[in-house]
Structure 1
Amino acid sequence: MKISDLIHPELICLDLNSTTKHAVFNEMAEYLFRAGKIHQPHAFVQEVLKREATGNTGFEGGVALPHAKCASVLSPAVMIGISREGIDYGAEDDKPTHLLLMIASPERACEAHIEILAQLSARLVDDDSVSRILACRSEQEVIDYFCRPDEAGEEAPSSRPSRGLIIGVTGCPVGIAHTYLAAEMLEKAAAEMGYEAIVETNGSIGVKNAPTPGDIARAEAIVVACDKQVDLHRFSGKKVVITGVKAAIKDAKGLIQQALASTPQQASATAKTAAQPASSAGSQLYKSLMNGVSYMIPFVVTGGLMIALSLALGGVPTASGLAIPEGSLWNQVLNVGVVGFTLMIPVLAGYIAYAIGERPALAPGFIGGWIANTGTFYGASAGCGFIGAIIAGLLVGYFIKWLTHFSWHKMLQPLVPIMIAPIAGTAFIAALFIFVIGAPVADLMAFLNHLLTNLSTGNIILIGLVMGLMQGFDMGGPFGKVVFMFSVGLIAQGQTQFMGAQAAAIPVAPLGMALAAFIGKRFNLFDEEEYENGKAAAAMGLVGISEGAIPFAARDPLSVIPANMIGSAVACVLGFVFGLNCNVAHGGPIIVLLGGFDKPLMALLAMVCGTITTAVIAIALKRLKMAKKQQILIQSQI
Structure 2
Amino acid sequence: MKITDLLKKEGVSLNQTVADQNAAIDLMVALHDKVGNLNDKAAFKAAIEAREAKGSTAVGMGIAVPHAKSAAVKQPGLVAITVPSGVDYKSLDGKESNLLFMIAAPEGAADTHLEVLSKLMTMLMDVNFTKSLVEAKTADEFLSLIDKQEAERDKKEAEKEAGKAPAASAAPAKKTCNILAVTACPTGIAHTYMAAEALEQSANDNGISIKVETDGSGGAKNVLTDAEIKAADIIIVAADKNVEMARFNGKKVIKASTADAIHHSADLINRAIAGDAAVYQHSGPVEAGASFDNESAGRKAYKHLMNGVSHMLPFVIGGGILIAIAFLLDDYSIDPGNFGSNTPIAAWFKSIGGTAFGFMLPILAGFIAQSIADRPGLAVGFVGGALAASGATFAAPGGNVPSAFLGALVAGFAAGYLVNGLKKITAGLPAALEGIKPVLIYPLCGILIIGLVMCAINPIVGALNNWIYDILEGMGTGSTLILGALLGAMMATDMGGPLNKAAYAFGLASLAAQNETGFMIMAAIMVGGMVPPIAIALATIFFKKKFTVAERKSGPVNFIMGLSFITEGAIPFAAADPLHVIPSLMVGSAVSGALSMLFKCSLRAPHGGIFVFPVVGNVAMYLVALLAGSLVGCFMLGILKKDVEQ
Q: Same fold (TM over 0.5)?
A: yes
Larger mean Cα displacement after TM superposition, 408-417 or 612-621: 408-417
State the alpha-carbon separation in 1 of the partners of residues 435 and 184 from structure 2: 27
Match of 1:295 in 2: 311
In the TM superposition, residue 459 of structure 1 has moved relative to its aligned partner by: 1.1
In the TM superposition, residue 234 of structure 1 has moved relative to its aligned partner by: 5.0
Q: 1:308 aligns with which of 324, 346, 350?
A: 324
Residue pairs, 1:118-517, within 5 angstroms: 199-200=182-183, 211-215=191-195, 220=200, 223=211, 233=218, 240=222, 242-244=224-226, 247=229, 250-252=232-234, 276-316=292-332, 318-320=335-337, 322-326=339-343, 328-375=344-391, 377=393, 383-405=402-424, 406-434=427-455, 436-494=456-514, 495-517=518-540
Structure 1 contact 502–575 (Cα < 8 Å) conserved: no
Residue pairs, 1:521-560, within 5 angstroms: 521=544, 524-560=545-581
Partner SS state of residue 333, structure 1:
helix
For residues 159-194 of structure 1, the C-alpha deviation after alignment (integer angstroms, 9 at most, x for no partner) is: xxxx9989xxxxxxxxxxxxxxxxxxxxxxx99799
- The 3 A distance-change label for structure 1 pair 376 and 209 is closer
State the alpha-carbon separation in 2 of the partners of residues 358 and 538 from structure 1: 35
State the alpha-carbon separation in 2 of the partners of residues 580 and 432 from structure 1: 43
TM-score (normalizing by structure 1): 0.59
* RMSD (CA atoms): 3.9
For residues 338-359 of structure 1, the C-alpha deviation after alignment (integer angstroms, 9 at most, x for no partner) is: 1110101100100000000111
Q: Please, which runs of 5 or more residues in structure 1 have no aligned partner?
A: 1-162, 167-189, 256-272, 631-638
- The 3 A distance-change label for structure 1 pair 475 and 164 is same
TM-score (normalizing by structure 2): 0.58
In the TM superposition, residue 218 of structure 1 has moved relative to its aligned partner by: 6.3
Amino acid aligned to 2:527: A
In the TM superposition, residue 231 of structure 1 has moved relative to its aligned partner by: 5.7
State the alpha-carbon separation in 2 of the partners of residues 608 and 440 from structure 1: 36
Residue pairs, 1:91-106, within 5 angstroms: none
State the alpha-carbon separation in 2 of the partners of residues 414 and 397 from structure 1: 20
State the alpha-carbon separation in 2 of the partners of residues 568 and 614 from structure 1: 7
- The 3 A distance-change label for structure 1 pair 312 and 235 is closer
Match of 1:6 in 2: none
Q: Please, which runs of 5 or more residues in structure 2 have no aligned partner?
A: 1-122, 127-172, 202-209, 238-288
Match of 1:38 in 2: none
In the TM superposition, residue 588 of structure 1 has moved relative to its aligned partner by: 2.7
Q: 2:589 aligns with which of 568, 579, 590?
A: 568
Structure 1 contact 378–438 (Cα < 8 Å) conserved: no
Amino acid aligned to 1:364: V
- The 3 A distance-change label for structure 1 pair 253 and 429 is closer
Amino acid aligned to 1:445: N
For residues 347-396 of structure 1, the C-alpha deviation after alignment (integer angstroms, 9 at most, x for no partner) is: 01000000001111100100000101222546677522222211110011
State the alpha-carbon separation in 1 of the partners of residues 403 and 183 from structure 2: 40
Amino acid aligned to 1:455: M
In the TM superposition, residue 248 of structure 1 has moved relative to its aligned partner by: 6.3
Structure 1 contact 165–196 (Cα < 8 Å) conserved: no
State the alpha-carbon separation in 2 of the partners of residues 482 and 285 from structure 1: 28
Match of 2:630 in 1: 611
Structure 1 contact 201–210 (Cα < 8 Å) conserved: no
Amino acid aligned to 1:512: A
In the TM superposition, residue 325 of structure 1 has moved relative to its aligned partner by: 2.1
Amino acid aligned to 1:366: F
Structure 1 contact 349–366 (Cα < 8 Å) conserved: yes
Structure 1 contact 357–398 (Cα < 8 Å) conserved: yes
- The 3 A distance-change label for structure 1 pair 587 and 561 is farther
- The 3 A distance-change label for structure 1 pair 617 and 448 is same
- The 3 A distance-change label for structure 1 pair 363 and 552 is same
Structure 2 contact 391–401 (Cα < 8 Å) conserved: yes
The alignment-based identity, stated in percent, is 31
State the alpha-carbon separation in 1 of the partners of residues 576 and 308 from structure 2: 9
For residues 292-336 of structure 1, the C-alpha deviation after alignment (integer angstroms, 9 at most, x for no partner) is: 11111111111111111121222525442523225x123212111
Amino acid aligned to 1:616: F
For residues 124-164 of structure 1, the C-alpha deviation after alignment (integer angstroms, 9 at most, x for no partner) is: xxxxxxxxxxxxxxxxxxxxxxxxxxxxxxxxxxxxxxx99
In the TM superposition, residue 581 of structure 1 has moved relative to its aligned partner by: 0.9
- The 3 A distance-change label for structure 1 pair 165 and 606 is farther
State the alpha-carbon separation in 2 of the partners of residues 381 and 465 from structure 1: 30
State the alpha-carbon separation in 1 of the partners of residues 460 and 360 from structure 2: 24
State the alpha-carbon separation in 2 of the partners of residues 191 and 581 from structure 1: 83
Amino acid aligned to 1:613: V
Partner SS state of residue 507, structure 1:
helix
Amino acid aligned to 2:433: L
Match of 1:31 in 2: none
For residues 106-141 of structure 1, the C-alpha deviation after alignment (integer angstroms, 9 at most, x for no partner) is: xxxxxxxxxxxxxxxxxxxxxxxxxxxxxxxxxxxx
State the alpha-carbon separation in 1 of the partners of residues 554 and 227 from structure 2: 31
Match of 2:140 in 1: none
- The 3 A distance-change label for structure 1 pair 538 and 378 is farther
Q: 1:519 aligns with which of 531, 542, 554?
A: 542
Match of 2:280 in 1: none
Structure 1 contact 381–445 (Cα < 8 Å) conserved: no
State the alpha-carbon separation in 2 of the partners of residues 421 and 532 from structure 1: 38
In the TM superposition, residue 492 of structure 1 has moved relative to its aligned partner by: 1.7
Partner SS state of residue 641, structure 2:
helix
State the alpha-carbon separation in 2 of the partners of residues 241 and 483 from structure 1: 47
State the alpha-carbon separation in 2 of the partners of residues 354 and 599 from structure 1: 49
Amino acid aligned to 1:342: G
